């Protein structure tokens, strides 16, 4: 007998800020819990530049949102507490979460550092009813790991994702097909997954204000205003249709990549290169951390209409250098991007080989050798004192669209779980 699909979406509440609170309370049990005060993670605590990576619920009440500038957040809440990021510890928390979830099903998709999909179709009968199991998972995470999650329960990934975004924190929500008319369709169209500000504006201008309006709209009208591919996708999502499987995570040694969904569309080369520099820093640091090098570099772009573009190159010499990654990424960008506004930019290093197989380059200069030593020194300092202890001057400007510390977020819109 074929069972109806049962998907859980696990979403850490205010992930980076919750994990930062866990770290600080472990160091000092008398410390203030950042989750109880207006607080954010991100930016430079001394110069107060950069962007908001995560926010507490009290900070959210001031209208502070993820990815806005620190300057803007401080105008909304002058007494805001700002703390730097601690990505090594956040990754450790994420790994502990996945190990706990693996006790419930082998079919897990780690969607980002703070999100995971579980296909419970074949294992739910071992533990109890869906709601009971979800509540058990939440309770165990709260007790054993000291942070909280929301759990969305649904017959597909899209609806599970939508359900987990309902009331927070530390809640279980369902969104089955018969619940769509009452729970999802009355929501503003902006709340539908993958509908950004530009698309929401277009939909509202033709009279579509709720998700239900989009579901009831003729698909051809949506295609005419949003494009064939994106219009069809949004109509399917509004109707609760999503057949994508819960897939295994890509093996770490197959490639190293990072991408970010920006807070606004960008259409100029200089700003895009600044984003690529931030991505190059994180990808380069991970290559050096795992003592591997890449033989090819790929730049990926995605515009608001869900159109994807990519361009890659093969390197003459394998590298783990941030500077080499950045230089090649900017060259690729100039070769294939026509300045069409983009919302997502990604960088991927592929064809990985172990460090020990590198051949000496006859063309390596004294300057390149010094740059390698510098990058390793920066890695060491950041590993000891935090990611914000050293940053490039280009990330200290108020109009910076992305901070130098970009966490890995693939495919789904960048968010912190709050």
What DSSP assignment string belongs to 31-44?
S--GGGSSEEE-S-
pLDDT digits (tens, 9 = 90+) for 98-145: 999 999 999 999 888 889 999 999 999 999 999 999 999 999 999 999
pLDDT digits (tens, 9 = 90+) for 66-107: 778 888 899 999 999 999 888 778 889 999 999 999 999 999
Residues of the chain with CATH 3.30.70.270: 1-176
Residue closest to 348 by CA, chosen among 263, 418, 415, 408: 408
Q: Is the pLDDT score of 376 beyond 60?
A: no
**More reliable by pLDDT, 352 or 211:** 211
For residue 105, what pLDDT is reported? Answer: 95
Q: Tell me what percent of the residues of the chain surpass a pLDDT of 90.
A: 53
For residue 392, what pLDDT is reported? Answer: 47
Contact predicate 174/154, CB 8 Å: yes
pLDDT digits (tens, 9 = 90+) for 243-298: 999 987 544 446 788 888 777 788 888 889 989 988 998 898 888 888 889 989 99
pLDDT tier for residue 352 given thresholds of 50, 70 and 90: confident
Residues of the chain with CATH 1.10.150.20: 185-238
- Which residues are annotated as catalytic? 115
The pairs formed by 179-184 with CB atoms below 8 angstroms and a separation of 24 or more are: 180/239, 180/240, 181/212, 184/159, 184/211, 184/212, 184/240
For residue 300, what pLDDT is reported? Answer: 94
For residue 378, what pLDDT is reported? Answer: 58
For residue 258, what pLDDT is reported? Answer: 87
User: Which runs of consecutive H residues, i.e. helices, occur in 165-305?
Assistant: 180-183, 197-205, 211-216, 219-226, 228-238, 269-289
**Average pLDDT of the residues in 153-161:** 97
Q: Is the pLDDT score of 354 beyond 80?
A: no
**CATH class (in words) of the domain with range 185-238:** mainly alpha
For residue 400, what pLDDT is reported? Answer: 52
For residue 361, what pLDDT is reported? Answer: 42
Mean pLDDT of the residues in the chain: 83
pLDDT digits (tens, 9 = 90+) for 14-67: 898 999 999 999 999 999 999 999 999 876 555 556 778 889 989 999 999 877
Q: Is the pLDDT score of 367 beyond 80?
A: no
Burial degree of 79 (CB within 10 A; 0-12, 13-18, 19+): exposed
pLDDT tier for residue 362 given thresholds of 50, 70 and 90: very low
Min mean pLDDT across 6-15, 199-208, 274-283 is at 274-283
**CATH class (in words) of the domain with range 254-395:** alpha beta
Fold topology of 1-176: Alpha-Beta Plaits (3.30.70)
Tokens of 293: 């090098």
For residue 88, what pLDDT is reported? Answer: 78
Residues of the chain with CATH 3.30.1490.100: 254-395
């Amino acid at each position: 007998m074929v069972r109806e699909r049962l998907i859980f979406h696990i979403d850490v509440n205010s992930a980076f800020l919750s994990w930062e609170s866990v770290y600080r309370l472990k160091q000092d049990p008398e410390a203030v819990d950042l989750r109880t005060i207006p607080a954010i993670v991100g930016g430079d605590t001394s110069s107060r530049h950069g962007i908001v990576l995560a926010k507490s619920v009290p900070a959210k009440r001031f209208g502070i949102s993820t990815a806005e500038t620190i300057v803007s957040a401080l105008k909304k809440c002058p007494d805001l507490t700002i703390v730097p990021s601690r990505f090594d510890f956040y990754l450790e928390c994420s790994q502990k979460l996945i190990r706990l979830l693996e006790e419930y099903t082998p079919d897990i998709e780690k969607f980002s550092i703070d999100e995971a999909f579980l296909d419970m179709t074949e294992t739910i009968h071992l533990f109890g009813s869906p709601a009971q199991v979800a509540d058990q998972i939440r309770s165990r995470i709260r007790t054993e790991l000291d942070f909280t999650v929301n759990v969305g329960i649904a017959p597909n990934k899209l609806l599970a994702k939508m359900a987990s975004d309902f009331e927070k924190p530390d809640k279980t929500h369902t969104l089955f097909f018969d619940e769509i008319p009452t729970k999802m369709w009355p929501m503003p169209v902006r709340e539908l997954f993958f509908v950004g500000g530009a698309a929401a504006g277009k939909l509202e201008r033709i009279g579509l204000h709720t998700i239900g309006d989009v579901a009831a709209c003729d698909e051809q009208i949506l295609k005419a205003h949003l494009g064939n591919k994106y219009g069809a996708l949004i109509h399917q999502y509004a109707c609760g249709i999503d057949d994508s499987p819960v897939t295994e995570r890509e093996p770490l040694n197959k490639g190293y990549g990072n991408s970010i969904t920006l807070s606004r569309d960008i259409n100029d080369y200089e700003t895009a290169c600044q984003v690529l520099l931030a991505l190059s820093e994180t990808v380069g640091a991970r290559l050096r951390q795992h003592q591997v090098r890449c033989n090819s570099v790929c730049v990926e772009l995605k515009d608001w209409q869900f159109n994807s573009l990519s361009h890659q190159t093969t390197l003459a010499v394998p590298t783990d250098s941030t500077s080499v990654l950045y230089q090649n990424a900017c060259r690729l960008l100039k070769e294939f991007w026509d300045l069409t506004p983009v919302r997502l930019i990604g960088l991927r290093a592929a064809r990985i080989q172990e460090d020990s197989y590198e051949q000496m380059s006859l063309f390596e200069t004294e300057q390149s050798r010094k740059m390698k030593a510098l990058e390793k020194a920066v890695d060491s300092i950041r590993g000891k004192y935090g990611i914000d202890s050293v940053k490039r001057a280009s990330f200290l400007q108020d109009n910076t669209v992305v901070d130098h510390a970009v966490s890995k977020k693939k495919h789904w819109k960048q968010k912190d779980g709050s």
